[in-house]
Amino acid sequence: MNKVFHFDTSPEHYQCDAAVVWCIDARFHVGFSKFLKRIGISRPDRIKIAGGAKALASPERESEREFVLDQLQKSIQLHNTKLVILMVHSDCGGYGGLQAFGGNTRAEAENHEAELRRAADCVRQAVPGIAVQGYYMAFDGVWEVDLNAATGR
């Protein structure tokens, strides 16, 4: 092997601030990173999968849900994770984009809010006692979804 890049990082194990289930869509990368910093997440375990939290709420294949839950369990075991952040975004190809909602941003946001609640229920069932937060990202900002309102928790 030939070394092609040098950097220094600590070999010490760390505690993760949150395991974040997020989409692979690069259009939101800058906003996503700034948002995590704003809410105090400096050491996230990023779990990136097309559709983000959709893989937990309404996966195309059950293997997608199993993969994400396995990654969450590993984050908890390896990095002592206490918080899971679930995210979805506007115009997500995993949902068929905004066109799947007839261009109606309100209908899309309502769908994604319900999806975040389903995803949170899935995580809570798989990992009892874990803290879960849900966020919807559009092209002009991030909205928090009250995940406790729908479940009565």
pLDDT digits (tens, 9 = 90+) for 114-146: 999 999 999 999 999 999 999 999 999 999 999
pLDDT value at residue 13 = 87
**Percent of the chain's residues with pLDDT above 90:** 92
pTM summary value: 0.93
pLDDT value at residue 87 = 97
Q: Which of 104, 28, 19 is nearest to 56 (CA)?
A: 19
| Residue 136 identity | Y
Q: How high does pLDDT run on average in the chain? A: 95
Q: Is the pLDDT of residue 153 over 50?
A: no
pLDDT value at residue 54 = 98
Cβ count within 10 A of residue 126? 16
Rounded to the nearest angstrom, the gap between the alpha carbon of residue 31 and the centroid of all alpha carbons in its chain is: 14
Contact at 8 Å (CB) between 53 and 116? yes
